[in-house]
Structure 1
Amino acid sequence: MHVTFLGTSGAIPTTERNTSSVLVRREGERFLFDVGEGTQRQMMRYGTGFDVSHVFLTHLHGDHVLGLPGLLQTWDFNDREAALAIHTAPGTKPAVENLVTAAGTRPSYPVRVDEVSPGSVALGGDDFEVRAFETEHRTRSVGYALVEDDRKGRFDRERAEELGVPVGPKFSKLHDGQSVELDDGTVVDPEQVVGDPRPGRRVVYTGDTRPTDAVERAAEGADLLVHDATFADEDAERAPRTGHSTAREAAELAASAGVNRLALTHVSSRYGGYAGHLGEQAREVFEDAFVAEDGQGVDVPYPDAD
């Protein structure tokens, strides 16, 4: 799994930071979370590819959605045929439909807009889900958690051979959870040769939000948490008034949720070209925090990766 930060600025873009967008590539699929103005150019600039199957919108403030009409039109110019699903917060479907037709016509390829409520599954795959969770902003909003299923335990080939299991199809049956019978009538059960299930990966994207219990629950044990960090300590009084978080608040939530890494994003333009102090303030609370930069890519390994 690979995460590319396409836009890390707050409401106003800067020369260094575009408005909000994050692309996640998983097992050949690409998912786009928020589509701030200029997102399609960022996709070109950073070489993420355009083969996106699902777009997930956290809320309808312009810095998170104004790139959608242009991206839809570019796909049309490129003769896209594949269907696109756009997921959005409750009560926002009509407005998103207006964005889809902002140029006066509908795309020639199928576009579906689905509203997703907190606690629901926005997208269910064979071995993963994208779940919506409640966030606290100044409008109807949700965050998203991409959660993989547990994987099979490791197969102990050496132990299987010690038990007399011949190399071949019986190995696969055991790894799939089926008992096998040997030629002498001995039955070997999966738990004898297969370890405990191994956890999948979890990537959580909050969009704009205050730090809340609901966000913390969604982020529990995340391999990567991408959290609103609009303000530094010196402007902390603005955070609750505007429905945002400080870098320190994001770090406190990350520590409580036991996440592996914290990416700070949605950085206010007031900090210009330097946002290093946000990272410094966050790392006073949570060591594995960093300020995301436009174009930065982050690999998300399995928790048990060597």
Structure 2
Amino acid sequence: MSTREFVVLGTASQAPTRQRNHNGYLLRWDGEGLLFDPGEGTQRQMLHAGVAAHDITRICVTHFHGDHCLGLPGVLQRLSLDRVPHPVTAYFPASGQHWFDRLHHATAFHEAAVPIEHPLAGEHVHIPAGPFTLEARRLSHPVESYGYRVVEPDGRRILPERLAAHGVAGPDVGRLQREGRIGGVTLEQVSVPRPGQKFAFVMDTRRCAAAVELARDVDLLVCESTFADADAELAYEVGHLTAREAAAIAAEAGARQLVLTHFSQRYPDVGPLLDQAREVFPDTVAAHDLDRITIPRRRPAPE
């Protein structure tokens, strides 16, 4: 069974609260673990959430404001401390290379697991990443910031009754999937289309076209919702979204489910933000620290 879930390590924005740790999120995608924006305290939150350093295969930093990256030194050192044997790739804005270097070598430690650096440059980046494509788009924020999108390629779902009707069994099933045809039987005759799943992570940004494109037709959109309606002018001024704006992005993009996070410390209760978002996009939830959110089941195949 594949495991695809979103693990919330922290939901605060600039300042943590008694209930909310700084940012930190892990996307489990089968054998991959994508760690997004490790803020302060991420290592400890990983322990609480049952996330090990060995679970991390990629680190995705949206930008170099402290609440999104000050946990990076501890995470990188933990990879070495735990002797993580597999490669871990770190994605981050190329303009922040000097910040990444400083965080990487913030203190003395014995580096046994060296991250593979993949700086991002340009408005739109496509990165083949094994079982999926990782996309990054530049957002609208006072410092250069990227949002991320995970796209699984479309495939086909084998139907056992059609295999039996065509007399295909045993090792021939695998051959048919790999080669597309065995004798007079084609893969299309024994299967139906299986749409690939999609996920988007949109952090610090004003509303912009790139945010909508990242969220286009995703199964799960995780989006910052730093402010409530009453603070919409402030949100725009400092390069952030309101919960209602996050919902509008989800609605325009045709997302299936929206997860709100990155809440300002000025809101002890995020219930009103959730209510404002649901007026625009009903299938919305507000993230809480240590939540585990299952990626929605695949969309049905087009008929």
Q: Is the 8 A contact 1:239 1:245 kept in 2?
A: yes
Structure 2 partner of 1:194? 191
Superposed CA offset, 1:83-135 (max 9, x none): 4321101211121011111114562322232211342234511x212111121
Structure 1, unaligned runs of 5 or more: 182-186
State the AA in 2 paired with 1:157: P
Structure 1 counterpart of 2:182, from 180, 197, 202: 180
Q: How does 1:159-178 map to 2 (within 5 A)?
A: 159-163=162-166, 165-176=167-178, 178=180
Distance change in 2, residues 1:79/1:155 (3 Å)? closer
Deviation, 1:299, is 0.7
Structure 1 partner of 2:124? 119
CA distance in 2, matches of 1:28, 1:160: 28
Q: Is the 8 A contact 2:53 2:75 kept in 1?
A: no
Structure 2 counterpart of 1:136, from 137, 140, 144: 140
Superposed CA offset, 1:142-180 (max 9, x none): 01111111122x3333334434x3533444444445333
SS of residue in 2 equivalent to 1:269: coil
CA distance in 1, matches of 2:48, 2:161: 48
Q: Give 4+ residue runs of structure 1 displaced > 6 Å after superposition.
A: none
Deviation, 1:301, is 3.7
Superposed CA offset, 1:188-231 (max 9, x none): 33332222x21121111112111211111121111110111000
SS of residue in 2 equivalent to 1:66: coil
State the AA in 2 paired with 1:168: G
CA distance in 1, matches of 2:170, 2:86: 40
CA distance in 2, matches of 1:34, 1:189: 44
Q: Is the 8 A contact 2:53 2:78 kept in 1?
A: no
Q: How does 1:1-306 map to 2 (within 5 A)?
A: 1-51=4-54, 52-105=56-109, 107-117=111-121, 118-122=123-127, 124-125=129-130, 127-152=131-156, 154-163=157-166, 165-176=167-178, 178-181=180-183, 187-195=184-192, 197-272=193-268, 274-304=269-299
The percentage of counterpart residues that share the same residue type is: 37
CA distance in 2, matches of 1:135, 1:206: 8
Deviation, 1:82, is 4.0
CA distance in 1, matches of 2:87, 2:139: 28
Deviation, 1:295, is 0.5
Q: Is the 8 A contact 2:95 2:144 kept in 1?
A: yes
State the AA in 1 paired with 2:119: E
Deviation, 1:49, is 1.9
State the AA in 1 paired with 2:34: F
Distance change in 2, residues 1:166/1:228 (3 Å)? closer
State the AA in 1 paired with 2:203: G
How many aligned positions are there? 296
**TM-score, structure 2 as length reference:** 0.91
CA distance in 1, matches of 2:249, 2:210: 11
Q: What is the root-mean-square deviation of aligned Cα atoms in Å?
A: 2.0
CA distance in 2, matches of 1:233, 1:68: 32
Superposed CA offset, 1:49-85 (max 9, x none): 2211211100000001111112223333334454432
State the AA in 1 paired with 2:24: S
CA distance in 1, matches of 2:74, 2:197: 32
Distance change in 2, residues 1:81/1:194 (3 Å)? closer
SS of residue in 2 equivalent to 1:4: strand
Distance change in 2, residues 1:194/1:78 (3 Å)? closer
Deviation, 1:232, is 0.4
Structure 2, unaligned runs of 5 or more: none
State the structure with more CA Rg: 1
SS of residue in 1 equivalent to 2:290: coil
Q: Is the 8 A contact 1:82 1:110 kept in 2?
A: no
SS of residue in 2 equivalent to 1:295: coil
SS of residue in 2 equivalent to 1:241: helix
**TM-score, structure 1 as length reference:** 0.90
